[in-house]
């Protein structure tokens, strides 16, 4: 059995995070090189811990991302936070060469962070629902139409494939260390957070 490896996560300032990632030739999906990359990405995401990781974050400029939300990550959140965000536990999913479509006009704002902007958080408005289509780790076509936190993760990870980071989209004056954002806004409703942000 192959040892599970964890890759270093590259940080903002690394050029690969600002480049459009390349399509992966579907014929390569079943190669040990790509299968190993996917395993490493999932292991790295879990170890961080995080709810998503794109290949550029481990220094690979290919259009691949993984995402997963786990019950143990939800355990630290209040019932209001879970409900408002639409956080739900789901198993690891892999998307290769994805296309992303925003569904409807509803936009929702929340703080989010990024493993490549380690230790910080910012308020980002995103579409409430999306549809993503792409290949899975076996090369099979899959589609996922979803709202709530998975929709936010998908938009965040898709941005990585385009060379974008959440800081490009955030309300810049909300930018805070993750520690201070948690201390100030943790457990509060979106309305309470917005009111707190208004007064600086
Ligand atoms: Zn990220």
What are the tens digits of pLDDT across the range 31-81?
Answer: 999 999 999 999 999 999 999 999 999 999 999 999 999 999 999 888 888
Do the beta carbons of residue 111 and residue 185 sit within 8 Å?
A: yes
pLDDT tens track for 119-141: 999 999 999 999 999 999 999 99
Q: What is the CATH number of the domain that holds 58?
A: 3.90.45.10
* pTM value > 0.85: yes
Cα–ligand 1 centroid distance for 164 (angstroms): 9
Instruction: Give a yes or no: residue 2 inside a domain.
Output: no
Beta strands in 64-197 (DSSP E): 64-69, 90-112, 120-135, 141-147, 171-177
Domain extent for 153: 15-199
Instruction: Give a yes or no: residue 123 inside a domain.
Output: yes
Instruction: Give a yes or no: residue 130 inside a domain.
Output: yes
> What backbone torsions phi and psi does residue 159 show, to the nearest 5 degrees?
-55, -40
Number of domains in the chain: 1
Do the beta carbons of residue 159 and residue 165 sit within 8 Å?
A: yes
Instruction: Give a yes or no: residue 40 inside a domain.
Output: yes
pLDDT above 70 covers a percentage of the chain that reads: 98
Cα–ligand 1 centroid distance for 178 (angstroms): 14
Residue 79: partners with Cβ closer than 8 Å, 6 or more residues away? none
Question: From the candidates 68, 81, 112, 157, which is the catalytic residue?
Answer: 157
Is 157 an annotated catalytic residue?
Answer: yes
d(CA 114, CA 198): 24
């Amino acid at each position: 059995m192959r040892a599970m490896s964890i890759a270093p996560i590259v940080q903002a300032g690394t050029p690969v995070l600002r480049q459009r990632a390349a399509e992966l030739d579907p014929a390569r999906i079943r190669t040990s090189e790509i299968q190993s990359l996917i395993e490493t990405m999932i292991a790295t995401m879990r170890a961080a811990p995080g709810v998503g990781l794109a290949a550029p974050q481990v220094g690979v400029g290919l259009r691949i991302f993984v995402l997963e939300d786990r019950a143990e990550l939800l355990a630290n959140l209040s019932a209001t936070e879970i409900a408002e965000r639409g956080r739900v536990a789901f198993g690891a999913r892999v998307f290769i060469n994805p296309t992303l479509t925003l569904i409807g006009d509803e936009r929702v704002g929340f703080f989010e962070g990024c493993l490549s902007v380690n230790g910080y958080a910012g308020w980002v408005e995103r579409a409430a629902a999306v549809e993503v289509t792409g290949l899975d780790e076996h090369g099979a076509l899959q589609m996922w139409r979803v709202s709530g936190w998975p929709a936010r993760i998908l938009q965040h990870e898709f941005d990585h494939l385009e060379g974008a980071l959440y800081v490009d989209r955030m309300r810049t004056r909300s930018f805070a260390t993750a520690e201070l954002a948690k201390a100030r806004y943790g457990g509060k409703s979106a309305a309470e957070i917005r009111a707190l942000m208004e007064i600086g």
